[in-house]
Amino acid sequence: MNNTTHNTIKALLLLLCCHIALFAIDINEAPSVKQRLTPDLQNNAIQSYHHAIKEAAKGVVNISTQKQVEGGGIPNHPLFNDPMFRQFFGDMLRGVPKDRVERSLGSGVIISQDGYIITNNHVIDGADKILVSLPENSKEYEAKLIGKDPKSDIAVIKIQSNNLPFLSFANSSDVLVGDVVFAIGNPFGVGETVTQGIVSALNKSGIGINDYENFIQTDASINPGNSGGALVDSRGALVGINTAILSRTGGNHGIGFAIPSDMAKRIAIALIDKGVVERGFLGVSIEDVKSDLSSAYDGVQGAVIVSVEPKSPAAKAGLRVWDLITKVENRPIKGGADLRNIIGTYPPNQDIEITYMRDKKISTTTIKLANASNASTALQEDIVEGASIGTLDAQLRSNFQVPPNVNGVIILNIQANSKASKSGLRKGDVIMQIENSAIKSTDDVRKIIAQFKNKPKRLIVYRQGQIGSLVLK
């Protein structure tokens, strides 16, 4: 090899090295493992969480409920109670379903030594009788309903007993992803069970389970019967109330949700003190900033106002459609669910400062909140006896899986043996039409019910993908 060739090769190698150095990636490597820690290998020592949660487990109870359900096969007609009729057609009636008692199971958490218990509203909703049994105790207590809050799915019941074991509340705002947690409850009615996992995520909303969602997500197994039970940290302190799982099969797939203890405690105190939860009301419909609207707000996060109710606190303060609410009392708003949850923490008549963006300019205003209970669209039994009704909105459509082409008012709750129940209405039904009038709001129901007072009324009803008719007497 002559000097010219040698120099050429050296130049090429130098150029290649410079090229590689120019585009090199600086990868940061973790230190080499020098030590592996193992549990104590003494013959008389094992690793266990038993002592951390044994006291907490004593304060988690089994709840069983009983509800009278009307049989669907016997028409509500006096003729069927006539002795002569039953004498001739008795054999035929034996095969027709009669009223029955429906039973269900759940869990609850004792929060005071004198017997106050937190559980989920859906565990006790509509129950005629609520029975509570303590761990390792065959005695059953009949519980009294103190109050319930369907919007957060929290209820408080009470049993007559003293010196009961109870759980202490942790501050759920201190919980971090990766914290070890334990779910305690009564899955499938097999008795008290403890499962272990970690906190998988925080501040989960938009699940479509409750109106107010700020869930702790965990992979600790939560199964049917665990609802209302405790999610505790490694000290045995209560960080959440187990509520629901996401599953296509009904089994556990490691995606469970718990209501944070801070929210559960605040609602429980309100229910014990007043029997109801009073929330502030702003008077707007909101949504997240969609991708095609992001540039209109310079990429700022918040909740976009899509409608403002007349004479509401928001209207009086001058808020408009397309305003972007970015802060409430200097608390940042990430989206619609965030605003809904934060407003729900303030009581009625509270003055709050709202920061918002309009035409890419930031402004602030002070708003006095109204009472959400007074502003609710739910109608009570004086309009349709035995039925609570709400105007369909995005949240109710999501909760009850109502398609966008179905309009009307939705049955939120039905009382047993009421006129609404005997007419065949069920929870989740959508009343689309009464007589010849299409129904768009609860005000429509009020007007038509008054117009046809004391007369049978024909209804067009949507139920689980089917449209049919009922007569409201």
Catalytic residues: 122, 153, 227
Tokens 């009392």, residue located: 329
Nearest to 182 by CA among 173, 170, 190, 63: 170
Q: Is 319 exposed, middle or buried (0-12, 13-18, 19+ CB in 10 A)?
A: buried
Q: CA 324, CA 335: separation in Å to the nearest integer?
A: 10
